[in-house]
Amino acid sequence: MPGLSPILKWAGGKRWLVGQEGNLFPSEYTRLVEPFAGGAAVFFNLAPQLAWLNDLNSNLIDTYAAIADDWRGVLEELEVHQRKHCAQYYYEVRSSSPRLEKNKAAKFIYLNRTCFNGLYRVNLKGEFNVPIGTKSQVLLPGDNFEAASALLKKTKLTNSDFERVIDETVTSDFLFVDPPYTVRHNFNGFIKYNEKLFSWADQVRLRDSLFRASARGVTVVVSNADHQSIRELYSESTVMKVATRKSVMAASASYRKTTTELLIRV
């Protein structure tokens, strides 16, 4: 069942990558490991027989676990959200605190699909605070929760620091790494926001852990910011190329300009 659509829209998502730059990926591997899962577009597209998805966002990982355990229950809740969706309802759901895992997951997916630009942002209290967006479709034509559930059932799901995950990879693993795009000495507002989540020291720690994994025989592919500081950080890598794509984060399509990213084979 290759080519599943990701369930979530995620900032910096890699839906475009497999088709455009798939030649960087190994043709054979035993397990796909993503220490920064996010929307897990590579995972859903490749549909591996064995995988490990990790992310520091526990709500994200819990959502994947709920789909694995009870996709029908999650889908039924999303159908309710689809029927009731409007501005008032959006903010009611945003402020709600459901107890059941299927309801928590449906809330997470509903807000992701209808909030402004699919952003995930929380306040100092850890509360999701993104306003409503322009999209009103909760259920999408590409949805296949049953197939996603079957894939996720075979997948290890964890909420941990990336270094612990990377240090547990073994020779036959394919490690796909897509960290927050934090760079050194950059005053772009989005990157300053990333710095709070993922510091430059984390970038260095990530690089070191990836080179350790590569030395063990793990296949490592990294997507990162196209910035001189990142080029210098990975100067000893075997492959480094620039990939061009359209930015999808602008609210209007007319403002979505071409952007570049570094793709690195360690």
- Domain 17-56+160-265 shares a fold with domain 62-147: no
Paired with 260 in beta bridges are 244
Q: 259 — phi, psi (to 5°)?
A: -130, 160
Superfamily of domain 62-147: Adenine-specific Methyltransferase, Domain 2 (1.10.1020.10)
User: pLDDT at position 198, please?
Assistant: 87
In the chain, domain spans = 17-56+160-265, 62-147
Q: What is the pTM of this model?
A: 0.91
Strand partners, 38: none
Q: What is the per-residue pLDDT across 13-64, written as a single tens digit (0 to 9) for each?
A: 787 888 788 888 999 999 999 999 999 999 999 999 999 999 999 999 999 9
pLDDT value of residue 37? 97
H runs (alpha helix) in 16-161 = 17-21, 41-46, 58-84, 87-94, 101-114, 145-153
DSSP for 121-177? -B-TTS-B-PPB-S----S-TT--HHHHHHHHHTEEEE---HHHHHHT--TTEEEEE
Residue 66 identity: A
Q: Where are the alpha helices (DSSP H) in 158-250?
A: 162-167, 189-197, 200-215, 228-233
Total number of residues shown for the chain = 266
* Residue 250 token pair: 């602008």
Q: Tell me what the mean pLDDT of segment 112-126 comes to.
A: 89
Q: Which residue has the tokens 């710095």?
A: 195
The token duo for 240 is: 């480094």
Cα→Cα distances 226→61, 122, 128, 229, Å: 28, 27, 29, 9
* Tokens coding 134: 């322009």
CA distances from 81 to 87, 93, 191 (A): 12, 9, 33
Q: Which residues pair with 53 in a beta bridge?
A: 34, 157
Average pLDDT estimate for 218-225: 95
pLDDT at 196 over 60: no
The closest alpha carbon to 33, from 221, 207, 208, belongs to 221
Both tokens of 214, joined, read: 């590569």
**Strands of 258-265's sheet in order across:** 155-158, 51-54, 31-34, 173-177, 219-225, 258-265, 239-246
pLDDT at 236: 94
Q: How far apart, in Å, are the Cα atoms of 216 and each of 91, 139, 173? A: 49, 43, 10
pLDDT value, residue 125: 84
CA angle 6, 53, 81 (to 5 degrees): 40
Q: Give domain 17-56+160-265's CATH number out of 3.30.1540.20, 3.40.50.150, 3.40.50.620, 3.40.50.12160.
A: 3.40.50.150
User: Angle of helix 87-94 relative to helix 58-84, nearest 10 degrees?
Assistant: 150
Share of the chain above pLDDT 70, in %: 90
